[in-house]
Amino acid sequence: MGKELTPEQRRFIETYIAGNIASEKSRIISAYQDYLRRADKVRAALDKIRKLNVNQALLPVLEQQLKGAETKAMAGDFAAAYEDLLSVKNTAKAGAKGTLAEYLPEQLEEDIKKLEWGVDAALTYLTMSRNQ
């Protein structure tokens, strides 16, 4: 049979274990809170894409990535979930901006024609109203 711990050794081990449990609990809570903040930002970026009606084809991909991050978080891997959310958020933000680089050439051409038509219509209206 093994040697029994002295009362001093037992107190040291109990204190060490309690300290590590508290430290680990604090670390887990902090990681979970970081994850929740990032998840809210991602959901806001996805909502912005829906409202702006840009890059709608991107939504299913982003939503699938969001579900993957949520799965990791539910498994307790908040650090990996946070990193996944960061990637989703950055992609969603870029998609929500609707920059010219993200336009398909056909979309860009169609939007330019609409703008030209609007300018022509406005000029016609102004010309007609001045001639009256």
Task: Report domain extents, the chain.
Answer: 7-98, 102-132
pLDDT at residue 64 above 80? yes
Query: Residue 100 has what pLDDT?
Result: 41
The pTM assigned to this predicted structure is 0.55
> What is the arithmetic mean of pLDDT over 35-53?
83
Average pLDDT, the chain: 78
Residue 55: partners with Cβ closer than 8 Å, 6 or more residues away: 49, 95, 96, 98, 102
> What is the arithmetic mean of pLDDT over 108-128?
72
